[in-house]
Amino acid sequence: MTVNNMADPRRPNKIFRYKPPNTETNPTLEDPTPDYMNLLGMIFSMCGLMLKLKWCAWIAVYCSFISFKSLKCNASGLLSISAVVMSYLQNPQPMSPPW
């Protein structure tokens, strides 16, 4: 409405390029949850493989799913899936609830 009265505020000669904010100076802005989930996933899948605990392997799968979306890190995802598969190959019994 008032644009016709005012001069055009745009200035093509005053363009600055976008600089992604430096996250090193502000580590608090980053969300640490996916990193923790990744680590937890690795730990649980190791436990599941070594101690042959099925529920450990399942929790590892969940953790890696949660962190997978944010980090796109496939290593822990594949590790947890292999933990689940190995647990079932070694012991085809169905999982009993831990209580």
Partner 1 sequence: AVVKYLLCVVRLQHAGRYNDDFDDGEDIAEFDDNDFAEFEDVSEDPAVDVEKEPPPRAAPSSTPIEDEEDEATVENEDGQDEFEDADAQDQDMYSKYDNEEFEGHEKTNPSFKDTLIYREVPAHLQNSWESYYMEILMVTGLLAYIMNYIIGKNKNSRLAQAWFNSHRELLESNFALVGDDGTSKEATSTGKLNQENEHIYNLWCSGRVCCEGMLIQLKFLKRQDLLNVLARMMRPVCDQVQVKVTLNDEDMDTFVFAVGSRKAMARLQKEMQDLSEFCGDKPKSGAKYGIPESLSILSEMGEVTDGVMDSKMVHYLTSHADKIESIHFSDQFSGPKVMQEEGQPLKLPETKKTLLFTFNVPGMGNTSPKDMDSLLPLMNMVIYSIDKLKKLRLNREGKQKADRNRARVEENFLKQTHAQRQEAAQTRREEKKRAEKERIMNEEDPDRQRRLEEAAQRREQKKLEKKQMKMKQIKVKAM
The site for partner 1 (CB under 8 A) is made up of 3, 8-20, 25-26, 28, 58, 61-62, 65-66, 69-70, 92-97
Residue among 16 and 32 whose Cβ is closer to partner 1: 16
* 61 in Cβ contact with 80 (< 8 Å): yes
Tell me which residue has tokens 């580590």. Answer: 27
Beta carbon of residue 20, minimum distance to partner 1 (angstroms, whole number): 6
Could you tell me the smallest distance in angstroms from the CB atom of residue 64 to partner 1?
11
Among residues 70 and 75, whose Cβ is nearest to partner 1? Answer: 70
Beta carbon of residue 81, minimum distance to partner 1 (angstroms, whole number): 11
Q: What is d(CA 53, CA 17) in angstroms, rounded to the nearest whole number?
A: 53
In eight-state DSSP terms, residue 17 is: -
Q: DSSP string spanning 85-98?
A: HHHHHH--SPPPP-
